[in-house]
Amino acid sequence: MQPKQAADKMTESEIEAFRRDLLDWYDRHRRTLPWRAGPAQTADPYHVWLSEIMLQQTVVAAVIPFFLKFVDKWPTVHDLAAADQQDVMDAWAGLGYYSRARNLHKCAQVIAHEYNGVFPQVPAELKKLPGIGDYTSAAITAIAFDRPATVIDGNVDRVISRYFAITEPLPDSKPQIRQYAGMLSEARADRPGDFAQAMMDLGATICTPKSPKCILCPLSGSCKGHESGIHQTLPHKKAKPQKPTRYGYIYWITDRNGRVLCHRRPPEGLLGGMTGLPTSEWGEDIENIKHFLHSDQNAPVKTKAQVRHVFTHFNLMLDGYLIDIKENRVEFPEDYYWVSRKNMQNIEMPTVFKKFVRLML
DNA sequence: TACACGTGGCT
DNA sequence: TAGCCAAGTGT
């Protein structure tokens, strides 16, 4: 194995120039965001934490309405801790990665009950909390408390990879990136929160994955990737395995009163804890998929409705079926329950189920 | 280390 | 249209 290439050292004046150029740019072009403190204002740790959880693998535009809804419903961490888990899951429906919502609620309870409502300020303490890892612990330390921390997200990966022209593919280049990012931010008391946010704003608005706007970039004059013309191709990434497609059936099951059968999904795993509609198992071989409910009395009737949905690691294709329950004697497990047709459009559920509900209503 | 885990916007 | 990608974490 090749020895890891050591990060080239920057001189102290080069580091200071980088930080000054970036922070000057940030002072002129910082984005106004609902959770972000204004210049010279103090951030609310609850808002910073909540926004950072929502922003994990999620774009700012998608987060804003959810953030506003959450702080409106639960203005403090105590309010969130006291909320019903189901209300939190429902409020999160549509934002994705639902384990974040479960961990958010758990974390609020730990903060409220074991930390007296006060967030810890250092990464090592923050990382003990559910849903908070390397990135989020550093981000809260820097942004909420303006303490030095090395904040590395996908934006920082890209900015650093390009600025230092790192050609080793991610994630193998992570140690190098961490070394460079640390060199620029570790133990530097001058505006740690603004520096972290400036790096991410730069990555989100200037040093974008496609068509970076180098002409507007405060760092282009010293960017090694720009100098050698390879910036657009960076960061290199290891090839991802191909996504399989899974198939299955989804059901619109109605009773004599026109009610529709819904399903509370098990707490862990895909879409865990969320409300959905009944489906069969999902598999790559449709021939081997059995219907969820099948009897002579209640035979599934195929519809034209189909649901296609893309998950992170597989594509899904569901064929819609109608089942009309003629006898009220049919018993379902406890996690299935009836909802009036009128209320179906108000039930909060993940997008894959919303798609089917829209087709059927 | 590698994989599970959502969604919507952009190209 | 299909693939890429986004302020990652947990196991």
Tokens found for residue A44: 């609310």
Residue A61 is predicted with a pLDDT of 94
d(CA A101, CA A74): 14
pLDDT for A227-277, tens place per residue? 999 999 999 998 888 899 999 999 999 998 889 999 999 999 999 999 999
Q: Please state the domain extents for chain A.
A: 12-233, 245-360
Indicate the pLDDT class of residue A1, thresholds 50, 70 and 90: very low
Cβ proximity of A3 and A172 under 8 Å: no
How many CB atoms are located within 10 Å of the residue A113 CB?
11
DSSP A287: G
Q: Is strand C less than 7 A from the beta carbon of A266?
A: no
pLDDT for A151-177, tens place per residue? 999 999 999 999 999 999 999 999 999
Would you say how long chain A is, in residues? Answer: 361
Residue A3 is predicted with a pLDDT of 38
How many CB atoms are located within 10 Å of the residue A239 CB?
6
Residues A78-88 have a mean pLDDT of 97
d(CA A314, CA A91): 25
Cβ proximity of A102 and A273 under 8 Å: yes
Nucleotide nearest A97, from its CA to each C1': B6
- The CATH class for the domain spanning A245-360 reads alpha beta
Work out the end-to-end distance of chain A between its first and last CA atoms, rounded to an integer number of angstroms.
59
Residue A320 is predicted with a pLDDT of 96
Annotated catalytic residues of A are 52
Placement of tokens 């960061």 in the chain: A235
Computed on alpha carbons and rounded to an integer, the radius of gyration of chain A in Å comes to 25
Q: Is strand B less than 7 A from the beta carbon of A57?
A: yes
User: Does the domain formed by A12-233 have CATH 1.10.340.30?
Assistant: yes
